[in-house]
Amino acid sequence: MTLLKGVIISLLLSCSLHLWAQINPQIENLLNGFYTLKYAYDYKDLTMTESMYNSAHDGLCFEARITFYLDGQSWETSNAIGHNQILRRTRQTLDELSQSAESIHKWETHSGKHDTINYAMFLKPGAGDLPYQNHMINIGDKYWATGGLESINMEYIATHPSEEELTEPVRLARGTLTYKCVLDTLAKATTAFNTEGYCDAIKTVVNQKGISMRKVHYKQDGENAENNEFFVKGESASAKGDTYGIHYIIRSEDIAQSVLSQLRQTTKGYIAKHPNEKFNMFNPRQNDYISTFPFLSCNTQGEDGTQTAFTVFTVFSKNYYHILVLYTNGTLFIPMNWEIIKDYDNGTVKYYEKDTKYMDKTSRRVDK
């Protein structure tokens, strides 16, 4: 990394530090531990999402959602070890945080083969009326913390199987953890996201040596669109979408790690400088696996009902790292084998032929 790049990143970090420093460090450590356990035990039934978003209601927020499962067939596998470690670390962290929490409700019961655990707490006091006023919702013996400036909710239900039940493919344990922190109550979405301004901000990041760039186009009119033909697909089978943008490919892992880190920090810096621009979600953690969870997204709807979207994906696939910067009119569709596709028009596919020697060229539809 050159000295200039280092200075730029330092400046971006300093301008957004006041926002990100509000995220509880114990929660951050817990999330990092979850990612470590997920890969150490190949824990497929652990799902994690982290997002930053703003709205006209809450302002600028950070939210993390974690769900972990065990079923009858995995109770005696390594997944169970990761599952139990996640549960233990979660409870330890929440018990520590509860000692200084603004308010907390904790309820648990253990009866025979059944376990039920519930935490609901506020780490920061709410201010004024809703939406920031602390509010505990009571559902039977369980509670849910809503509103406030920083809250945590955790629910865990488990049924321990007997040896006869181990072959039953049913969910026997499920835990969910939700953490929300309002970073800036004044940073409410009031203006459209400036896609040109953002792309200009990340230009020096994506135009570095070692990154291939090419234009892509994906179009789908809603007819004969099957779910298994798309990496990302709109909810409605009859939806229509026209997407165009830039596909960046990084074949060096070292370069990719540096570029994705810079992209993440640059995006943080842009949001910190433009906190009132509307965006639906920003994933602050670097994606190093195949995921349909966008890195950054913002959607707008015109007065006539037309929808447009700006979406950035960071994906590891086909042994390479990819960045997709896409503009969509209508509904977003990304076809399978997008890694080597230049143009997709209702099943008619045009490939980047020079990449077929690097990636397996397969298509669910025949070229036309």
Task: Tell me the pLDDT tens digit for each residue of 86-117.
Answer: 999 999 999 999 999 988 999 998 887 888 99
Instruction: Give me the pLDDT at residue 262, please.
Output: 93
Instruction: Give me the pLDDT at residue 300, please.
Output: 84
Largest CA distance in the chain: 65
Q: Does residue 86 sit in the same domain as residue 180?
A: yes
Q: Does residue 323 sit in the same domain as residue 265?
A: yes
Strands 211-220 and 341-345 turn out to be parallel
Question: Please, which contacts does 46-51 make with residues 24 or more away whose CB atoms are closer than 8 Å?
Answer: 46/82, 46/83, 46/86, 49/283, 49/293, 50/283, 50/284, 50/285, 51/281, 51/282, 51/283, 51/284
Q: Does residue 27 sit in the same domain as residue 174?
A: yes
User: Are the C-beta atoms of 38 and 45 separated by less than 8 Å?
Assistant: no
Average the pLDDT over 45-70 and give the result. 89
Please identify, among 184, 207, 231, the residue that sits at the C-terminal boundary of a domain: 184
Q: Does residue 25 sit in the same domain as residue 169?
A: yes
Q: Does residue 131 sit in the same domain as residue 237?
A: no
Q: Does residue 202 sit in the same domain as residue 138?
A: no
Q: Give the model confidence (pLDDT) of 208-249 as tens digits.
A: 999 999 999 999 887 666 767 788 877 666 678 999 999 999
Assess whether pLDDT exceeds 70 at residue 323.
yes
Whether 7 is in a domain gets the answer no
Please identify, among 184, 208, 223, the residue that sits at the C-terminal boundary of a domain: 184
Q: Give the model confidence (pLDDT) of 258-271 as tens digits.
A: 999 899 999 989 99
Instruction: Give me the pLDDT at residue 148, please.
Output: 87
Whether 6 is in a domain gets the answer no
Per residue, the 3-state secondary structure of the chain, as one string, reads: CCHHHHHHHHHHHHHHHHHHCCCCHHHHHHHHHHHHHHHHCCCCCEEEEEEEEEECCCEEEEEEEEEEEEECCCCCCHHHHHHHHHHHHHHHHHHHHHCCCCEEEEEEEEECCEEEEEEEEEEECCCCCCCCCCEEEEECCEEEEECCCEEEEEEEEEECCCHHHCCCCCEEEEEEEEEEEEEECCCCCCECCCHHHHHHHCHHHHCCCCEEEEEEEEEECCCCCCHHHEEECCCCCCCCEEEEEEEEEECCHHHHHHHHHHHHHHHHHHHHHCCCECCCEECCCCCCCCCCCCCEEEEEECCCCCEEEEEEEEEEECCEEEEEEEEEEECCCEECCHHHEEEEECCEEEECHHHCCCCCCCCCCCCC
CA 176 to chain centre: 16
> What is the count of structural domains for the chain?
2
Q: How far is Cα 213 from Cα 151, in angstroms, rounded to an integer? A: 42
Q: Mean pLDDT, the chain, as a whole number? A: 83
Assess whether pLDDT exceeds 80 at residue 13.
no
Whether 368 is in a domain gets the answer no
Instruction: Give me the pLDDT at residue 75, please.
Output: 75
Instruction: Give me the pLDDT at residue 86, please.
Output: 92
Please identify, among 157, 184, 211, the residue that sits at the C-terminal boundary of a domain: 184
Structure token digits, residue 83: 């599952």
Instruction: Give me the pLDDT at residue 233, please.
Output: 78
Whether 360 is in a domain gets the answer no
Whether 252 is in a domain gets the answer yes
Listed residue (296, 285, 315) closest to 36, CA to CA:
285
Average the pLDDT over 62-79 and give the result. 85
Residue range(s) defining the domain that contains residue 230: 195-355
Q: Does residue 124 sit in the same domain as residue 261?
A: no
Q: Does residue 227 sit in the same domain as residue 334?
A: yes
Average the pLDDT over 168-174 and give the result. 76
Average the pLDDT over 313-320 and give the result. 88
Instruction: Give me the pLDDT at residue 359, please.
Output: 44
Instruction: Give me the pLDDT at residue 210, please.
Output: 93
Q: Does residue 169 sit in the same domain as residue 216?
A: no
pLDDT band at 157 (very low <50, low <70, confident <90, very high): very high
Q: Does residue 179 sit in the same domain as residue 40?
A: yes
Whether 83 is in a domain gets the answer yes
More confident residue, 224 or 159: 159
Q: Does residue 48 sit in the same domain as residue 27?
A: yes
Whether 12 is in a domain gets the answer no
Range with lowest mean pLDDT among 4-18, 116-130, 138-152, 328-342: 4-18
pLDDT band at 352 (very low <50, low <70, confident <90, very high): confident
Instruction: Give me the pLDDT at residue 17, please.
Output: 57
Q: Does residue 238 sit in the same domain as residue 338?
A: yes
Assess whether pLDDT exceeds 50 at residue 10.
no
Listed residue (201, 212, 243, 209) closest to 321, CA to CA:
212
Whether 362 is in a domain gets the answer no
